[in-house]
Amino acid sequence: MEIKPSTLYIVGTPIGNLEDISYRAVQVLKDADVIVCEDTRVTGILMARYEIPKKPLLPHYKNREADTIGPVLKHLQEGRSIALVSDAGTPGISDPGCFLVSEVVRAGFTVEPIPGPSAATALLSVSHIPNTHFYFEGFLPHKKGRQTRLKFLADMDCGVVFYESTHRIMKFLAEILEYFGDRKILLGRELTKLHETVFRGTVSGAIAFFEEHSQKGEFVIYIHGKIDS
């Protein structure tokens, strides 16, 4: 693959299992002049695993995306190719990326996708619940607007995909039961990792299950829609 100058590549990386990366993603990471990433230690592990030569790593943080724009545009103006990765999965999906992409597009440079894993699609791929249509919510707001959002989502015909952390999973499930009722649920914990768990059942069943089993790790949840089938 010929990497293009003055191009920003958006590169999907594993959501846990380091083997889950495309040949093309590895090639782009090897050939890019600069890698824009979140935690340099996380990206460093991936680079070591795939023998990606050492190169400048430009940190890019949530809520501080504007800090990266200047250096990224300068690199692109000088003809360098850049790979954007996040700590896990697809950049821009509940991760920083969107602001950087919009500014790079506005400046007239090319942005190309190098598709890879995402927790949402990994979960949906093993769904037993028909999900022809789904709505991706990601993380709910923690405080302001949370109830309004829950009411809005509970009224949707199609199913909804959420992201949730270990600390809030039980509160989250209790709220889903309250706002959505006891619907069908598909829940993935630590997908592609050692302690991968896929729970299939109802919301009340999930609460009972995770009261008895470990709540540690990362969670992705699909709640069946009000009507969708």
Does the footprint of ligand SAM cover residue 25 (CB under 6 A)? no
Q: Which residue is nearest to ligand SAM (CB)?
A: 89
Query: In Å, how far are 4, 58, 72, 162, 220 from 79, measured between CA atoms?
Result: 9, 16, 11, 39, 39
218 scored as a contact of ligand SAM (CB under 6 A): yes
Verify binding: residue 140, ligand SAM, rule CB under 6 A: no
From 42-50, 74-82, 146-154, 163-171, span contacting ligand SAM (CB under 6 A): 163-171
Q: Does 13 bind ligand SAM (CB under 6 A)?
A: no
Q: Phi and psi dihedrals of 188, rounded to 5? A: -115, 125
How far, in Å, CA of 6 to CA of 17, rounded? 31
Helix (H, G, I), strand (E, B) or coil at 197: strand
Give the contacts of 193 (CB within 8 A, at least 6 positions apart).
16, 17, 217
33 vs 93, beta carbon nearer ligand SAM: 93
Q: How far is the CB of 142 from ligand SAM (least distance, A)?
A: 13
- Rank residues 73 and 161 by Cβ distance to ligand SAM and give the closer one: 161
Q: Of these, 192, 202, 204, 215, which contacts ligand SAM (CB under 6 A)?
A: 192
Confirm or reject binding of residue 119 to ligand SAM (CB under 6 A): yes
* Alpha carbons 72 and 93: distance in angstroms, whole number: 20
Q: Does 89 interact with ligand SAM (rule: CB under 6 A)?
A: yes
Query: Helix, strand, or coil here: 151?
Result: helix
Strands 110-114 and 34-37: unpaired
Interacting residues toward ligand SAM by CB under 6 A: 15-16, 86, 88-90, 93-95, 118-120, 163-165, 188, 190-193, 218-220
